[in-house]
Structure 1
Amino acid sequence: MKNQNFVRNLVGTAILAALVLALQLLLGSLKLGPFNITLTLVPIILGAVLYGPLSAAFLGGLFGFLVCISVISGNDAGGFMLFSQKPVITLALCMIKSTAAGYLSGLVARSLSKKNATLSLFLAAGIAPVVNTGIFILGLLLFFQDTLVLWANGQDKVIDFLLFSILGINFTTEFLVNLVLVPVLARILRNLRFVKQELAV
């Protein structure tokens, strides 16, 4: 039984990893301002709900690695600007925020799945963008204050920029997309027998 579960988790994680690759490389980002709104958190959250924190951390790390490539290549304009100033910190920030988002989402899903499967799914879907965006904002405030002031068009507008641009547009869009798509996809996967019955809504 353990071997069967291991194989199921491995195959499921591999399928979601392929989805992460497809979304990020082909159609995973929508351009709004200097940043990209990503759809790639969706398979990461599904990994968290279906297969646990380690699977989700791996998927988040894969996402972070792909973002690093996008940043280095200049495809992500905002990220490239940060990379040109502090490359190591920028790449570390890309990896940490997505990996942590997956892992913490998985912890939440695992801890609540047996008590309330529906609640665990929605909380996992919500916490991933919170962690992802929260770590990014923290990184900006700690290491890229001058760039943040430039993007905000002045020191006195930094708070407005964070609230209405990063949080108001980027975060809100990603948050709502995850809350809508994850439960729907979880139900589809349940019907396809990729997930145990109690984990779906």
Structure 2
Amino acid sequence: MKNKNFVRNLVGTAILAALVLALQLLLGSLKLGPFNITLTLVPIILGAVLYGPLSAAFLGGLFGFLVCISVISGNDAGGFMLFSQKPVITLALCMIKSTAAGYLSGLVARSLAKKNATLSLFLAAGIAPVVNTGIFILGLLLFFQDTLVLWANGQDKVVDFLLFSILGINFTTEFLVNLVLVPILARILRNLRFVKQELAV
């Protein structure tokens, strides 16, 4: 039984990894404001809900790696600007924020799944963009203050920029997309044989 579950989790994670690749490569450059809006958190959260924190951390790490490629190549203009100033910190930030988003989402999903499956699903969907964006903002404040001031058009406008641009547009869009799509997709996956036992919503 353990081997069967391991194989099922491995296959499911591989399918979600292919979805991460497809979404990031095809839709990774959707822009709303100065940063990219990502749909790639959706399969990461599904991995968290269906297969746990390690699967979600792997999917988050894959997402972070793809973002690193986009940053280095210049496809992500804002990321490339950060990379040109502090390359190691920028790449570490890309990897840490997405991997942590997946892992913590998985921890939340696993800890609450038996108590309240629906609540665990919505909290997992919400925690991923909170962690992803939160670590990014923390990184900007700690390591890229001059760039943050430049993007905000002045020191006195940094708070407004964070609230109304990064949090107001980018984060809110990602947060709402996850809260809508993840429960719908989870309900669809519930009826599939290879996830039927893991998800009861």
CA distance in 2, matches of 1:180, 1:148: 31
CA distance in 2, matches of 1:200, 1:132: 27
CA distance in 1, matches of 2:122, 2:197: 16
Q: Give 4+ residue runs of structure 1 displaced > 4 Å after superposition.
A: none
Structure 1 residues 194, 187: closer, same or farther in 2, change over 3 A? farther
CA distance in 2, matches of 1:99, 1:67: 12
Report whether the alignment pairs 1:32 with 2:32.
Answer: yes
What residue number does 2:144 align with? 144
Q: Percent identity?
A: 98
Output the TM-score relative to the length of structure 2: 0.98
CA contact (8 A) 2:50 2:198 kept: no
CA contact (8 A) 1:141 1:148 kept: yes
- Output the aligned Cα RMSD: 0.9
Residues 144-164 of structure 1: per-residue CA shift (max 9 Å, x gap): 000000000000000000000
| Mapping 1:79-94, distance limit 5 Å | 79-94=79-94
Q: CA deviation at 1:196?
A: 3.1
Q: CA deviation at 1:190?
A: 1.2
CA distance in 2, matches of 1:29, 1:5: 36
Residues 57-97 of structure 1: per-residue CA shift (max 9 Å, x gap): 00000000000000000000000000000000000000000
CA contact (8 A) 1:57 1:102 kept: yes
CA contact (8 A) 2:33 2:169 kept: no
CA contact (8 A) 2:71 2:80 kept: yes
CA contact (8 A) 1:183 1:200 kept: no
CA contact (8 A) 2:42 2:178 kept: yes
Q: CA deviation at 1:198?
A: 5.9
Q: Which range moved further: 189-198 or 153-162?
A: 189-198
CA distance in 2, matches of 1:142, 1:156: 17
CA distance in 1, matches of 2:163, 2:200: 33
CA contact (8 A) 2:61 2:95 kept: yes
CA distance in 2, matches of 1:189, 1:29: 27
Q: Unaligned stretches of 5+ in structure 2?
A: none
CA contact (8 A) 1:61 1:95 kept: yes
Output the TM-score relative to the length of structure 1: 0.98
CA distance in 1, matches of 2:199, 2:149: 44
CA contact (8 A) 2:93 2:139 kept: yes
Q: CA deviation at 1:197?
A: 4.5
CA contact (8 A) 2:109 2:120 kept: yes
CA distance in 1, matches of 2:2, 2:138: 40
Structure 1 residues 198, 116: closer, same or farther in 2, change over 3 A? farther
Q: Unaligned stretches of 5+ in structure 1?
A: none
CA contact (8 A) 2:64 2:98 kept: yes
Q: CA deviation at 1:180?
A: 0.3
Residues 26-53 of structure 1: per-residue CA shift (max 9 Å, x gap): 1234212221010000000000000000
